[in-house]
Amino acid sequence: MSVSSLNSAQLDPDTKGTAVSNSATPHDAKFLGGAAKALSITNTTSAGVGPRPGDRVVPIRASTSGLSNQRRLRVMLLGMRGFPDVQGGVEKHTEKLALALTKLGCEVEAVVRNDFVSKGTTSWNDIRIVRIWNSRTKGVETFVHTLFGVLYAAWRRPDVLHIHGIGPAIFAPLARVLGLRVVVTYHSLNYEHAKWGPFGRAVLRMGEWFGMAFSNGRIAVSGELQKRMNQTYGARVDKIPNGIAKPDFVPTTDILQAFGLSAKRYALTVARIDEEKRLLDLIVAYAHIPNPGFKLALVGQADHVGPYARAVDEAARQTPGVILLGRQIGKALGELYTHAGVFVLPSSHEGQPLVVLEAASYGLPAILSDIPAHRELAVSGARYFAVGDVAALKRELWNYFTAPFLPKISTEDRLRVIAKHDWDDIAHKTLDVYFAACSA
C-alpha cells in the first residue's frame, strides 16, 4: 500500500489492514494526546520511499474527517528470524504483534532472514515481508542480518524501528545516528545462556547497554526484566507481556495415534532443543521411573544441530517411552496440548515462556523449573523443582501420574491467563510506547 497521503473518503472501513475507521472508540481516546505530538514528525526520505514531509501520522482509528494529508503509522520490525510459523518465542511474539498492529491500522513491515522465509514471499496478511541475506554461521547470523536491516530501515524511513532482543539492540546507536526512532523489546537475558562464550556474552551485554541507553522506547516482557533494567540503567522500561491466542481445543486424536500416544497418559514439552531448555534432564528423570505407565512427548527442534541436540536425540532413542515429535504447529500442536496429561519445562533461563502460557490456556497443570520467569507467571497449581535437580523432577512426574485424580487448571484460571495476555491489549500498549518514542 502506498504511504502517500490518504483521504478519509477513499478508505474502505471493511477492508482488512487498510482502513482507518471514521469513529474513535473509548480506548482509542487515550492515544490522541500522544498521537498529537507524533503528528508533527517530518521524515527525510529518498524519492518514492517513506513518508513525505508534512504527512501526519493518524492516531489509530481516530476520526479522519477534515484532515487532508494523513497516513498510517509505519512500523518496521527487526531482530526475529522470520514469520509466519518460524520456531522461537521472539518469532511467535513478533508474528502475533504484527498481526494485531495491522488490525489496529498500522502499516507494518517485517525484516526477516532469507533462510527462514520462502523465496518470493513479499507479504503476509497485509504485512510487508522483506527477506535480507543472513550468514549461516552461529553467532554471526544475528549480527550481520541486523546491520543490514538497520541500513535498510534508514532507506525506508519508518516512523518506528522496533528491534527485538538485546543481540540486535547493539545497533540501536547506529539506527539513532541514521535518524530513526527506535523501540527495543527485551525478551531474555541471553548472555546467561550456556551456549555463549566470553566474547558472545560481552557482545550481548553491550547490546543490552546500547538498547537501554540509545533507544527512544524500551519494553520488557516480564516484571523481572523490567525491574532489572530499571535498577541497572535507570531508564524507563515499560512492561508489556507476551500474548497468546485463544486455545483451539482439538477433539480428534490423529496425531496421538500416529505417535503411539494415549490421551492424558503423556507429559508434554514444547521447546527448542538447546542447553537452556535442559531436555536431557527431563529424559534422564523419565528414564529413572520404573514402568512409568505414561510417555514423554517432546515437541521442537534444534536451531543448529550440535553436540547437545545429538545427545538429546541419542538419549531419546535409547529411552523407551520418549517420543521426539519434531516441530508441530497449528491443529497438530493444538491436539497435543488438548490431550496431554501435564506440561513440563525444565529450563535454566527464560524471558517469559509463551509455551507455559499456552499450556495454561488449555488447562494443563505444569511442572516447571524454579526460576523467576516461571514463578512470575503464577500458573495455578504449578509444581516447581530446582534447576538441574533430576531426582526432584522424577518425583514430580511420578507423583503426578500416580495421583488418584489428574489435576487440571480451572476454567476461571484459564480465562484469567488468556485475558492477561490478550494480543489486542498488548498491541494497544505497544502503540503507547511508539507514540511516546515519536514525540520524545
- 175: burial class by Cβ within 10 Å (0-12, 13-18, 19+)? buried
What's residue 336's pLDDT? 98
Same domain, 211 and 159: yes
Q: What is the model's pLDDT at position 14?
A: 35
**Alpha-carbon span 366 to 356, nearest angstrom:** 8
What pLDDT, on the 0 to 100 scale, is given for residue 36?
A: 32
249 within domain boundaries: no
Residue range of the domain that includes 17: 8-243+422-439
2 in any annotated domain? no
| pLDDT attached to residue 142 | 84
pLDDT of residue 57: 52
How many domains does the chain fold into?
A: 2
pLDDT along the chain (440 residues), means of 10: 29 33 33 33 39 46 40 94 90 95 96 90 94 79 91 97 96 97 92 80 93 96 92 92 93 95 96 93 96 94 87 95 94 96 95 94 95 92 95 95 81 92 96 92
In terms of domains, do 91 and 170 share one?
Answer: yes
Given this model, what pLDDT does residue 140 score?
81
DSSP letters for 32-89: HHHHHHHTT------TTSSPPTT-EEPPTT---TT-SSEEPPEEEEESS---SS-SSH
Predicted confidence at residue 372, as pLDDT, reads: 92
Q: Is residue 3 part of a domain?
A: no
Sequence-distant (≥ 6) Cβ neighbours of residue 366 within 8 angstroms: 342, 343, 344, 345, 356, 359, 360, 379, 381, 382, 383
Q: Are residues 415 and 431 in the same domain?
A: no
- 54 part of a folded domain: yes
In this structure, the answer to whether residues 405 and 280 fall within a common structural domain is: yes
Here the contacts of 168-171 (C-beta below 8 Å, separation 24 or greater) are 168/78, 168/79, 168/142, 168/207, 169/79, 169/207, 169/208, 169/210, 169/211, 169/215, 170/143, 170/146, 170/203, 170/206, 170/207, 170/210, 170/211, 171/146, 171/147, 171/210
- Name residues whose C-beta falls within 8 Å of residue 318's C-beta, 6 or more positions apart in sequence: none
Task: Give the domain CATH number at 363.
Answer: 3.40.50.2000
Model pTM score:
0.80
* pLDDT tens per residue, range 54-67: 444 544 443 333 33
Which residues lie closer than 8 Å to 307 by C-beta, 6 or more apart?
A: none
User: Do 35 and 77 belong to one domain?
Assistant: yes
Has residue 46 been placed in a domain? yes
Q: Examine the domain organization and report whether 270 and 374 are in the same domain.
A: yes
φ/ψ region of 363 (left if φ > 0, alpha if ψ in -120 to 50, else beta) reads: left
Examine residue 42 and state whether it is found in any structural domain, yes or no: yes
Q: Are residues 378 and 235 in the same domain?
A: no
Q: Are residues 62 and 81 in the same domain?
A: yes
**265 and 343 share one domain:** yes
| Domain co-membership, 163 together with 211 | yes
Distance CA 244, CA 356 (A): 10
Q: What is the CA radius of gyration of the chain?
A: 23
Asked whether residue 162 falls in the same domain as residue 56, the answer is yes
pLDDT at site 120: 87
Residue 153 located in a structural domain: yes
Domain match, 181 and 299 both: no
Q: Cite the DSSP H helix spans in 326-422.
A: 330-339, 354-361, 372-377, 390-401, 411-420
In a domain, 316, yes or no: yes
